[in-house]
Structure 1
Amino acid sequence: AGLRFAALDRALLEAPLVGMDEVRDEIGGMWPALDRFSAQGVGVVALRDERVLCWCTAEYVGATSCGLGIATAPDAQRQGVATATGAHAVAACLARGLVPHWECGRDNPASARVAEKLGFALAETATFWYARLG
């Protein structure tokens, strides 16, 4: 079966697909609840059969912009899957009137290359501090 792309809605988030646990974990690390993401977030997955190969999700959504992050299964890398998934996610952001920003760590040059292929240009680098609360 071929590759297909789907918007991450609540029904898809609850689907028993291989790899969806990782998508839910990613969203859970950025959003207070899946319901909030379902109502306000933006996300696209690449699917083949009953398996998630790649996901691109908004790590936050503001009034006019959002920050996108992406992850791809190791056996689906270097095949254009991330670039295509990212393109669908960018289109979903623009359709909602949101300006997407691409976010990735310095230790993730593959994500930076995907961003460049999609037309993003490096605007700044930043240092983030995380607190483990609770």
Structure 2
Amino acid sequence: MKYIKLSLLICVTFLLFPSCNNDDDNTNSSTTINGTWHLKNVRGGFVGINIDYTRGEVFYDFNLNNNTVNITNNILTTGPEDIYAGLDSGTYSIRIEQNGTTETLFIDNVDKGTIDLQGNTLQLDDNIAADGFLMEFER
């Protein structure tokens, strides 16, 4: 009789376990990239570029509801600040591909790098070891 009760208890326990789910494990950075991000710094490259940007000079407004980014580029010079600021002002299509825990941002089907989102800081790393660039944004 004890064997039957123990077996029944074990069966009931295993039947209930699959219904448990931790939704916290299903979050990723693409759900929080929505909104406006101000370009703060671009660094890297073969010659060691390190350019700081003033808040409001360049900002990206991501909208995952319609898979677009509206970029505002207010740089007026044609120097390095403009060259490394990224795309010109406009609205572009975006796609975020997930490969395991790594997310890659594509703007108009061009790989713009992996997404590293930590609080109010967003980094796009183009993952080119020797002469790649890292763009850093803040909310």
Higher strand share: 2
Q: Normalising by the residue count of structure 2, what TM-score does the alignment of the two structures yield?
A: 0.26
Q: Normalising by the residue count of structure 1, what TM-score does the alignment of the two structures yield?
A: 0.27
Higher helix share: 1
Greater Rg over alpha carbons, structure = 2
